[in-house]
Chain A
Amino acid sequence: MMKHRIRFTINGEVREMEVKSNQRLLDLIRNDLDLTGTKEGCAGGECGACTVLVDGKAINSCLMLAVEADGKEILTIEGLAEGMVLDPIQESFVEHGALQCGFCIPGMIMSAKALLKKNPHPSEMEIREAISGNLCRCTGYEKIIEAILNVTQKQA
């Protein structure tokens, strides 16, 4: 069995597709579904640029096979905004200028999304912990942390 038919939900849409056993979830998302917001940095679980949510949990899509997505619900950065209305996390990143080159940002935002789903009012330490698997080579993290903290304060 080198090919598999899988059925999954991505950004709210049910899809049925044929995938190869040696394809990663990241390849499925970027190459087959053309959702290129999810990035590939290290391909080894170290950088977090490929972070997506699977059944509400943040995972590295470079370390999951596409066939393992069968029956799962996947959320990528493209699934956050509703039409022209940004997700409050995206809004806050923009407001705080919490980005420079932007390469790490989809992953950062997905990690923040997973955190806020579980814990709507995290402390600064909890935020640092939640994004500890996301590398940023530009910002120095401070503005990213402020941006995430601020989402929660607004909702409070």
Chain B
Amino acid sequence: MHQFMYVKPKDITEAVRILAENGEKVRVLAGGTDLIVRMVDKIWKPEVVIDIKGLTGLSGIREIDNYGVAIGAATPLNEIIGHPLIQQHFAVLAEGAHEIGSCQIRNRATLGGNLCNASPLADTAPALLVLDAVAVVQGEEERLIPMTEFFAGPGKTILARGELLKEIRIPYLPTESKGIYYKHARTKAVDLASVGVAVLALKPGEIRIALGAVAPTPVRAKKAEAFLSGKEITTGVIKEAVALVQEEVSPITDIRATEEYRREIIAVLVRRGLYEIQKFLRGE
């Protein structure tokens, strides 16, 4: 690894100041499972590395009265997966997070790192998209950005110079719900998604769908959602919804899968998700 300056700031204010002063030369270190790999491979050579783990306000899970739950950006995935509030209300996020890497990786990797790394295949992103999560961004001031607007392209977010991701807020779902995350990969463990699909249903008839690894950023399938809204989920309806999802994605060919194969898998996973949702909405 190249030489760099390692800094452990005392609080968020200091972290934000260092980020603002150093611009392109600085990188945030959370779990390091993306950052250290890229530094070892000499893809990234930041002059300053700023370790945000353990800063007050950046770690842990808390309930926000009359709203939902806030997850600190630097909270390790394993802590999120096992947390009772997440298990009880947002199991689909736990499913997504559980798909990441191995036990060792999840003990270090953080939610904020997964999102700020902004890979189109980030396994926590589809769940957060269907949950209508909100990113709390901290710079000189704080701003709230809906997850649907957080990603700007492969490896890019809307974070500006001098900003970091502070926490993710997820509103409680207003009615009885069911969420599912499917990941398709080449091997069962420690592989990246070729396609990821999250489906969420809210009684009586709202359905949300989000996908990873099928476009430059993780995406919501808004056209399919609008079409499905309030409809009885029949085989015909599912077929039409799958066709609409295909219009909203733009998969590419890469080392994990070809575009054509991705389109097949998208159809299979969306269909599978909607049949599960059909059972749920029918009370089966």
Chain A interfacial positions (CB closer than 8 Å to B): 1-2, 4, 20-22, 24, 43-46, 48, 51, 57-60, 62-65, 67-68, 111, 114, 129-130, 132-134
Given contacts A63-B33, A64-B32, 5 further A-B contacts (CB under 8 A): A22-B39, A59-B108, A63-B32, A63-B37, A132-B188
Chain B residue nearest to A27 in the complex (CB): B1
**Interface assignment of B4: CB less than 8 Å from any CB of chain A:** yes
Closest to B78 in A: A57
Q: A1-B6, A4-B6, A21-B4 are in contact. Are A68 and B101 (CB under 8 A)?
A: no
Closest chain-A Cβ to B71's Cβ sits at a distance in Å of 19
Q: Is the CB of B5 within 8 A of A60?
A: no
A19 nearest in chain B by CB position: B6
Partner of B104, one of A2, A24, A59, A67: A59
Count how many chain B residues have C-beta atoms less than 8 Å from C-beta atoms of the other chain: 30
Closest to A50 in B: B104
Partner of B37, one of A45, A111, A129: A45
Taking the complex as formed, is B103 at the interface, i.e. its CB lies under 8 A from any CB of chain A?
A: yes
* 10 A-B pairs with C-beta separation under 8 A: A21-B5, A22-B39, A45-B104, A62-B40, A63-B31, A63-B36, A65-B6, A114-B103, A129-B103, A132-B190
Cβ A58 vs Cβ B103 within 8 A = yes
**A22 B105 Cβ-Cβ under 8 A:** no
Chain B interface residues toward A at CB < 8 A: 1-7, 29, 31-33, 36-37, 39-41, 49, 51, 53, 78, 101-105, 107-108, 188-190
**Nearest neighbor of A129 in chain B, beta-carbon distance:** B103
Report yes or no: A68 in contact with B104, Cβ–Cβ below 8 A.
no
A45 and B101 contact, CB distance less than 8 A? yes
What residues of chain B lie closer than 8 Å to A129, measured between beta carbons? 103
Q: Is the CB–CB distance between B104 and A21 below 8 Å?
A: no
What distance in Å separates the Cβ of B6 from its nearest Cβ neighbour in chain A? 4
Taking a contact as CB atoms under 8 Å apart, the answer to whether B37 and A44 are in contact is yes
Docked pose: A4 CA to B101 CA in angstroms? 30
Determine the chain B residues whose CB is within 8 A of the CB of A43 once the complex forms: 40
Question: Contacts A58-B104, A65-B32 known; A133 to B1 CB distance under 8 Å?
Answer: no
Q: Once bound together, how far apart are the Cα atoms of A65 and B40, in whole Å? A: 11
Q: How far is the CA of A68 from the CA of B6 in the complex (A)?
A: 10
Bound together, the chains give a CA A60 to CA B33 distance in angstroms of: 9
A104 to B204, CA, bound (A): 51
Interchain CA distance A51-B190 in the complex, whole Å? 15
Contact A132 B108, beta carbon cutoff 8 Å: no
Partner of B103, one of A4, A22, A62, A132: A132
Q: CB within 8 A of A65: which of B3, B33, B36? A: B36
Q: A60-B105, A111-B104, A132-B189 are in contact. Are A2 and B36 (CB under 8 A)?
A: no
The residue on B at minimum CB distance from A4 is B6
A45/B33 in contact, CB under 8 A: yes
Tell me the minimal C-beta distance from A7 to chain B in angstroms. 14
**Most chain A beta-carbon neighbours within 10 Å: one of B3, B40, B107, B189:** B107
Q: How far is the CA of A129 from the CA of B40 in the complex (A)?
A: 27
Q: What A residues does B39 contact at CB under 8 A? A: 22
Q: B4 to A64, Cβ gap below 8 A?
A: no
Most chain B Cβ neighbours within 10 Å, of A2, A46, A59: A59
Known: A44-B40, A45-B33. A22 touches B2 (CB 8 A): yes
B108 touches A46 (CB 8 A): no
A62 and B102 CA atoms in complex are apart in Å by 14
Chain A residue numbers with a CB within 8 Å of B108 are: 59-60, 63-64
A36 CB to nearest chain B CB (Å): 20
Expressed in whole angstroms, the Cα–Cα distance for A57 and B82 within the complex equals 14
Q: How far is B6's CA from A45's CA once the two chains are assembled, in angstroms?
A: 21
Least Cβ–Cβ distance between A95 and chain B, in angstroms? 25
| A57: chain B residues within 8 A (beta carbon) | 78, 107
Given contacts A22-B1, A59-B108, A133-B104, contact A68 B189 (CB under 8 A): no
